[in-house]
Amino acid sequence: MSQVLFQQLVPLLVKCKDCEESLKFQQGLLVDFLAFPQKFIDLLQQCTQEHAKEIPRFLLQLVSSAPLLDNSPALLNVIETNPFKHLTHLSLKLLPGNDVEIKKFLAGCLKCSKAQVQYQQQHEQQKKDLEMLHQRNIHQLQNRVSELEAANKDLTERKYKGDSTVRELKAKLSAVEEELQRTKQEVLSLRRENSTLDAECHEKEKHINQLQTKVAVLEQEIKDKDQLVLRTKEAFDTIQEQKV
């Protein structure tokens, strides 16, 4: 905004480009006509920045021949100080403006002021809208954080319960595995015992078969002997009958 105001003020300071050539020649300036306003603003800003220092490097000096500021011409000097001397970077002669120029300048200032007020109002409204949006976003985020914290608490409780259940199941599984190992050992022992019993049973069956065979042989021998005794008796009886 200050640059715009100053650019409107430039016609009062430098009337034309031909005057600029004379000004550049008289004061040894290196800037061109278009860059002059911004360069002058830069010098003014340096003076403002140095103003609060005990020994400012840049000074802004207003020199007037009249004891009081009136319509008399005045000089505005931009001075750089150093321990050796004061260097005047720029010296501008300030002349009173006519009514047309003053009114035109004031109209420009009023226009810029209105634009600045409008911009400030828009800025304040945008700032207010952004603050409301920010507050709404904060409220939404806080609600979301509360929801997430509640969900996290619920998940944490579920995790603790799940961990407890897992520990219980692991303990039960360990007990079942131990019981399974004992059962396997018992099954293995029973299988070995069953195998031994099977072998013993097989041997006993073999022995029984042998005894049954032996009994059959003995029974046959007894039967043969009975028949022999019977035949012998019959023969004896026949002999006895013949003797009689």
pLDDT tens sequence for the chain (244 residues): 444 444 444 444 444 455 556 666 677 777 776 777 788 888 888 888 888 888 888 888 888 877 665 677 888 888 888 888 888 888 888 777 778 888 888 888 899 899 999 999 999 999 999 999 999 999 999 999 999 999 999 999 999 999 999 999 999 999 999 999 999 999 999 999 999 999 999 999 999 999 999 999 999 999 999 898 888 888 888 887 777 6
The reply to whether 127 falls in a domain is no
- The answer to the question of residue 145 being in a domain is no
Residue 107 lies in a domain: no
Query: Residue 199: inside a domain, yes or no?
Result: no
> Is 42 within a domain?
yes
Q: Does any domain span residue 83?
A: yes
**Residue at 54 is within a domain:** yes
Structural domain span for residue 61:
3-96
What is the SS3 assignment for 67? coil
Q: Is residue 172 part of a domain?
A: no
Please give the Cα distance from 196 to 208 (Å, whole number).
18
- Integer Cα distance of 185 and 189 in angstroms: 6
The domain total for the chain is 1
Please give the model's pTM, rounded to 2 decimal places: 0.38
Cα 19 from Cα 13, distance rounded (Å): 10
